[in-house]
Amino acid sequence: MNTELPKIPAPPEVEEVNPPEQEMLRVVIGKMKPIDKDAKDKKKKQAKKAQPKKGDEKPKVIKWEDGPPKYIKTTYHHITEATQKLSENIFPVNIRGD
């Protein structure tokens, strides 16, 4: 039996090749946007939110009542609807048979 089956090859050996250690060069693409001093001042001068006083309580959250449950048709409803459609007259009244 050993003569019939080929031998399983050994797993390949992988040699790790690392690049030489060098510092990453920082590349700047395009021009930098000029900094506006007015924009910094505007950000600093924004109004702060009024904090509630110690005596004031947080406003109560309104809890809404759940609506009616969603109507889900069951097999019974589908069957009764199908029988009503089938029981209707297939041929309309205004067609005359010759």
Question: pLDDT tens for residues 32-80?
Answer: 888 777 766 666 666 676 776 666 677 788 888 888 888 899 999 999 9
Query: Predicted confidence band at 1 (pLDDT cuts at 50, 70, 90)?
Result: low
Distance of alpha carbon 41 from alpha carbon 54, whole angstroms: 32
Which helix (H) or strand (E) covers residue 16, if one does? none
Query: Predicted confidence band at 93 (pLDDT cuts at 50, 70, 90)?
Result: low
In sequence order, what E strands does 1-98 have?
none
Q: Give the closest residue to 36 by CA, choosing from 24, 44, 28.
A: 44
pLDDT score recorded for residue 79: 92
Proportion of the chain above pLDDT 70, given as a percent: 69
pLDDT score recorded for residue 77: 94
Query: How far, CA to CA in Å, does 20 sit from each of 17, 23, 25, 26?
Result: 9, 10, 14, 17
Residue 35 burial class via C-beta count within 10 angstroms: exposed 0-12, middle 13-18, buried 19 and up? exposed
Which pTM was predicted? 0.24
